[in-house]
Amino acid sequence: MYTTHIGSARPDSIDIYGYDLCSEVIGHAGLADLIFLGAQGRLPTENESKMLNALMVGIAEHGFTPSALAARLTWLGAPEAPQGAVAAGLLGAGSVYLGAMELTAKFLQEALSGAPGDQDRDTTAAAVLDAYEESGERVPGFGHPTHRPRDPRTARYFELAERWGFLGSHSLLLQAVHAGMERRRGKLITLNGAGAFGAVLADLGFDWRLVRSIVVAARAVGLVGHIAEESARGTADSMAQELFRHVEHHTDYQPRR
């Protein structure tokens, strides 16, 4: 016997997560609300819905990232299968691009769960920085090639989180880590939007293991726009075609023998 709490369909109705799809969900819940419902087993409150939507909107699109280029180039090769282009764009969601949200949520949740209950935030932040310095690894959520010294998304995320009641322990710890890092290095350091995203999502109650799933769901929406632009131009005049021709023209063949 197989069991699931997700949903079932009958001739005259569809149930998902204990709700009637047609009467209780369609027309009442947004797409991000379904993500919340699937992850936490209930529909979000109004403020939870607004916060999750704001987070996802903030990462849906960020210009010509590798994922956008991968989607466009894949569409060029298979314009009849736009789902393949979206999938290609999502396959590169790793530690460099789109992965910092997950890694930030992970280190924040682990730091808070492992800290003594009476330990103050600055001490926990110092322990985090000590551990990363000892390992030689970079603290996720910091630095950005474009947004320096401040990422505009970070301020907006924290502003909305405070307004809607989600500037919680994870976000506050990340801010403490940021302050401690700047003191140690003696310069301004970017706390990027990805880091803020991971912290606020953790304050919304999402386990870090689900963060990347939410990230790619948001980025899939953004990739639709890239594919739509390519489709409107047609394969002959698409950006992907121009990129292909440019690389072909500017690549020198240098045999190894």
Structure tokens that stand for 85 in this block? 């282009």
Q: Give the residue-averaged pLDDT of 19-25.
A: 95
List pLDDT tens digits, range 195-214: 999 999 999 999 999 999 99
Residues 6 or more apart from 255 whose CB is under 8 A from it? none
Examine the pLDDT at 94 and tell me if it is beyond 90. Answer: no
pLDDT value of position 96: 82
> Please, which residues bridge with residue 7 across strands?
16
Examine the pLDDT at 118 and tell me if it is beyond 90. Answer: no
For the chain, what is the mean pLDDT?
95
pLDDT value of position 100: 93
Of 89-98, 102-111, 186-195, least confident by mean pLDDT is 89-98
Query: Which domains, ranges and CATH numbers included, belong to the chain?
Result: 1-43 (no CATH), 45-257 (1.10.230.10)
Coil, helix or strand for 63? Answer: coil
List pLDDT tens digits, range 234-253: 999 999 999 999 999 999 98
Exposed / middle / buried, residue 15 (Cβ in 10 Å: 0-12, 13-18, 19+): middle
Structure tokens that stand for 164 in this block? 């809607």
List pLDDT tens digits, range 119-157: 999 999 999 999 999 999 999 999 988 888 999 999 999
**Who has greater pLDDT, 34 or 99?**
34
pLDDT value of position 120: 94
* Nearest to 54, CA basis, from 209, 201, 212: 201
Residues 6 or more apart from 21 whose CB is under 8 A from it? 7, 13, 14, 15
